[in-house]
Amino acid sequence: MIIHANQTFKKSVICLALSSTFTVNSSVLAEEAVSKEYGIERIEVTGSRRASTVQETPINITALDADVMKDQNITQLSDVARWVPGLTIQDQGGLENSPIIVRGLNTNSSGPDSDGETVATYIGEIPLFVDMKIIDVERVEVLIGPQGTLYGAGTLGGAIRYLPNKPVLDETSGSIYGDVFNLAHSDDVGSEVGFVFNTPLIDNTLGLRIAFNYLDEPGYVDYAYTVKEGGVSLPDPDWSDSAAVGQNIKRVDDANSEQATTARIMLRWQPNDIIDTTLSYFYQQQDIGGRSIVHANSLNSSNPLSTIVGDYDSAYRYLESAEHENSLISLEVTVDLGFAELTSATGFSKSELNTKRDQTDLLIALALGYEEFPAFSAFTRDDSETETITQEIRLVSTNDSVVSWIAGAFYNKFENKNTSKEFTPYLDQYAVDNWGGSQLRPDALEYIGVYESEITESALFGELSYQATEQLSFTLGARFYQYDVKSVSAADTPLYYTVFEGAGADEIILDFEKISADDDGNLFKFNMSYQFNDDVLAYATVSEGVRIGGSNGIVPCTAEEIASDQQALCALPHEVLYTADTTTNYELGFKSTWFVNQLHFNAALFLVKWDDAQIDGATVKGEQSFTSNAGSAESKGIEISSRAMLSESLIAYATYAYTHAKLTDDAPYLFGVPDDLNDTSFDAYDGDRLPGSPEQQVSFGLTYSTEILDDKLLDVNYGLTYQSDIYSKVGLRDYGEKIPGYALSNISARVSGDEWSVTLYVDNMFDKYAYTSVRENYGYITSGVTTGADIQRKYGHYLITPRKIGLRFDYMFDM
């Protein structure tokens, strides 16, 4: 059989790209092979704000194109991370944005309250922190290492850019697709449908592009022990009595389902060769049935539930569901001025997140006697609304001089409002009957907290590059930033005041406190690169990143509240504000191509210094979440990638990353302030390993392509990804645990014609059961550590998605 090299490689590299020409630390996952003699054409990237290729750009950047993502069934950011050395996503399902960690830069415990914003995500030119479903995307670029000069605050570890396909002005085309799949341990069948449509409205001048996707993903975690009616049903009946269980408990199978609608509309106007304008609207709506948390091996041994809870069972008393809506309107304009290209990017985004949480265990842990009420259970409704305005203007020189430059200005205004309402059904009646309460509180509102903030960030930035010789070049970059934070917050415990203090039955008193903070600073970057020949490039980089500080939005404690032993909802002086944290990255790397472009080998060595690291914690008074600053930490390691074309039909690729991240200073009171200040159990120490990411990551892939049935193409793709163990707490202290590492295998077979393709795929082929992260810690189930430890269910583990078998059909058309 004769195999046409250009066609074969066009299809097969789609899968193989998952490690290809890595920019030193990253897998250059996205280069299409089109040369008739095994050559791999490099994909264009713009992460440096200039059009270049991955191999020619002396920074750490990974690019995955649409074909790569289709063949590897990459549909979300957690899938991307498996193929990018140094990037970790703690996949926690769709209920919240999963923490993104680059090179181990993380101090927080695993779980939904962790702060993962050491990496900024962009849709086009606009920063937007959203786990976007990847539809109709030209490519995803991952920049590893601090990107503070060109991308600004929030890029301590790096930046991730989703680059949508823009309207094509001279053709009417599109595609439709459908996917049917089954998840192991689920009773339902999942599906996904979507389409892309492109058409010129005015030929060669005005074009329209529409992309739509609907995902119906079944759950695989059963909420097997929810109460039928809060405050009436016993959350812990006699589990050996089936009648008692049936009277009080209901089971919700496959609860962690997700229905997501994602859409994008783009209008592009290009009246001439000078002006190019794109107006975009992005929308995503997600309905999440429950968290992907299970309680197998996560309950106190004295709890009868511990012997009957299954591997895929959640023991929460209430469904922890969510509705999440995101939208973005953006306008991107580029103008060729001759000497430079002017880019203006304007964005307005909105986000609404409504969640429900089982709050029973937190209240029991406060040791205020809630557990005395046999039917006690509590839940919280959190409502968050955010609005963001972004404007960036930059000039990028376009002349052929040995000196080139970038200059720009950035403005961002972020406003949010959070309301948290905690309900304890029928606790008022129990308090009146047993604790001397005087009246009922019909709405059962035990706590309400309101927090509003406005963060304004502005910056001037630029880079200056000098081509000293044909081989040697230097780049200096700087960013000068300033930010202001204004916030107001208030909290009340209405049920207590109604039941015991004579307040009105629906009265709420919110005494708002205003808090403000501001700061300014500068960031620098130095890059030197040397092109030994056409195939070998080496570079050295020193770059800085920053994440702004601010207010925790918690009412400061009064002197009386500080002195009192009674519980209060307030912040001690050191819990009110937190400062900016910064990183400095030192990196040496090279990119190389061998044997007439049939072998790529790339590597990078790095050292990242992290100062004043922001950490999550809980206030002493009321255990409210807050952010503070620890001491210093560092991360160092190596990242390697290689790819080989073994024959016209077979391609192999592999990546490896080693990351050692640790504290470099003692961190007293990292896990809270003890009653006895001589108690060191709340401290962490110099040398303690940081949590949340593995020390070792490996990926390996094979792609085999051949012609079948005379003119059809068969692509068989196999991928293996592995990560070593993860710590849930710094140094395994404060009841931290080591989350075991795991390996996943994916395989797919795709048959394609000129206009269609059919793909059979299996993800997590061997149905591996493994944890991605942990919620809270096992201290919550250890007898004597907290009140009611034998009945608590706060501690649990997030699961990886079980085996997924699917069949996908794609049809492309031109008109």
Note whether 805 and 745 are within 8 A (CB). Answer: no
d(CA 804, CA 744): 12
Q: What is the mean pLDDT of residues 98-122?
A: 69
Contact 165, 138 (CB under 8 A): yes
Q: Which of 39-48, 118-127, 739-748 has the highest mean pLDDT?
A: 739-748
306: its two tokens: 């511990």
For the stretch 659-681, pLDDT in tens is 999 999 888 877 776 767 677 77
* In the predicted structure, residue 120 carries a pLDDT above the cut 90: no
Contact 35, 737 (CB under 8 A): no
The confidence band for 97, taking pLDDT boundaries of 50, 70 and 90, is low
pLDDT, mean of residues 162-179:
94
Flag whether pLDDT at 231 surpasses 50.
Answer: yes
- In whole angstroms, give the CA distance from residue 133 to residue 260: 8
**Share above pLDDT 90 across residues of the chain, in percent, rounded to a whole number:** 55
In this predicted structure, the answer to whether residue 319 has a pLDDT above a threshold of 60 is yes
Q: In the prediction, which pLDDT does 362 show?
A: 86
Residue 151: what residue type? Answer: Y
Q: Quick one: pLDDT at residue 410?
A: 95
Q: Residue 121: pLDDT band by 50, 70, 90 thresholds? A: confident
Chain centre to alpha carbon of residue 210: 26
Predicted pLDDT of residue 631: 78
Angstrom distance (rounded) from CA 652 to CA 719:
10
Judge whether 290 and 324 are in contact, CB under 8 Å. Answer: no
Report the run of H or E that residue 66 belongs to, with start and end: helix 66-71
User: What's the pLDDT at 515?
Assistant: 83
Residue 748 above 90 pLDDT?
yes
Q: Is there a contact between 479 and 460 (Cβ–Cβ < 8 Å)?
A: yes
Q: In the predicted model, what is the mean pLDDT of the chain?
A: 86
Residue pair 699/717 in contact (Cβ under 8 Å)? The answer is no
List of long-range contacts for 610-614, beta carbons under 8 Å, 24+ apart: 610/105, 610/156, 610/581, 610/582, 610/583, 610/634, 610/635, 611/581, 611/582, 611/583, 612/579, 612/580, 612/581, 612/582, 613/107, 613/581, 614/107, 614/115, 614/547, 614/549, 614/578, 614/581
Residue 19 neighbours by CB distance under 10 Å: 30
Segment among 175-189, 543-557, 602-616 with least mean pLDDT: 543-557
Which of 542, 544, 412 is CA-nearest to residue 146?
A: 544
Distance CA 164, CA 236 (A): 50
Q: Give me the pLDDT at residue 785, please.
A: 59
- Bridge partners of 189, per DSSP, are 182
| Long-range Cβ pairs for the range 199-202 (8 Å, 24+) | 199/172, 200/167, 200/168, 200/169, 200/170, 200/171, 200/172
pLDDT for res 196: 96
pLDDT value at 3 more than 60:
no
